[in-house]
Homo-oligomer: A and B are copies of this chain.
Amino acid sequence: MTVNDAEGPPLLPATAMAGRDEPVDRILATAYELFSRRGIRGVGVNELISSSGVSKATFYRHFPSKDALVLAFLELRDQVWTVDLIVAEASRRGNTPEERLLAVFDVFGDWFQREDFEACSFINVLLEMGAGHPLGKASIDYLSRIRGHIQALAEEAGLDRPEEFARSWHILMKGSIISATEGDALASKRAQQMARWLIEHHRGL
């Protein structure tokens, strides 16, 4: 019995930070919590250090700047959210590559209904900082990694043109996230239906 095991997979799995209580871990854990919920510009360094119980000097000893911490946050988000929460969970729920692909939107459905649903940090940071900013570029890179997971599943499933398939699939993922942010709790179902049609049209007929 650890923290946040009440509803679905935990956002911050104990395995990632288990037992560690070093300042750098507290900073990262706090950054994950605050950045994912309120964005980058919405969280200041002073709040970060006070919330993580760390002095300012310690903060800047581990991270040369706030942007450096944001980069570390994005990488942590890739591990915790993309890999552990979405990809791994979808793979667990499906038995075949196609089922695993479609299960992504089942996982989305559960995720959308969490009261602490915070949308996709990569999209948030990309739009907040702009595509030209280093943090925006990093976000684009992590978004492409998500597409890579989809493409790998598409290849396993033997679908046609897996790269283009993944790009179309990703449109459904991102669009449904925005719709969920607007309050459409059924956005995952709508996207999943369109995803089924996409699979049909990419099957080697």
Q: Which residues of A contact B (CB under 8 A)?
A: 38-39, 41, 119, 123-124, 126-128, 130-131, 140, 143-144, 164, 167-168, 170-176, 178-179, 181-184, 186-187, 190-191, 193-194, 197-198, 201
The smallest beta-carbon distance between A171 and chain B, in angstroms, is 4
Alpha-carbon distance A181/B139, docked complex (angstroms)? 11
Q: In the complex the two chains form, is A124's CB within 8 Å of B127's CB? A: yes
Q: Which residues of B contact A193 (CB under 8 A)?
A: 168
Contact yes or no, A170 B181, CB < 8 A: no
Chain B min CB distance to A198 (Å): 6
Chain B residue at minimal CB-CB distance from A173: B175
Contact (Cβ within 8 A) B178 A123: yes
Pair A131/B187 contact, Cβ less than 8 Å? no
Do residues A127 and B131 form an inter-chain contact, with CB atoms below 8 A?
A: no
Q: Given A39-B128, A194-B197, A197-B197: A176 and B181 within 8 A (CB)?
A: no
Known: A127-B119, A127-B123, A168-B193. A178 touches B174 (CB 8 A): yes
> A202 CA to B170 CA in the complex, in Å?
23
With A127-B127, A167-B186, A171-B187 already in contact, 16 other A-B pairs whose C-beta atoms are closer than 8 Å = A127-B128, A131-B183, A168-B191, A168-B194, A170-B175, A170-B179, A171-B172, A171-B190, A171-B194, A172-B194, A174-B179, A175-B176, A178-B178, A194-B194, A194-B197, A194-B198
Pick from A41, A167, A181 the residue with the most CB of B within 10 Å: A181
Q: What is the bound-complex CA distance between A36 and B143, given in angstroms?
A: 23
CB distance from A36 to the nearest CB of B (A): 12
The residue in chain B whose Cβ has the minimal distance to the Cβ of A143 is B182
> A131 to chain B: which residues have CB within 8 Å?
181-183
Contact assessment for B167 and A179 in the assembled complex, using a CB-CB cutoff below 8 Å: yes
State the Cβ distance, A131 to closest chain B Cβ, in Å: 6
Residues of chain B with a CB closer than 8 A to A164's CB: 190
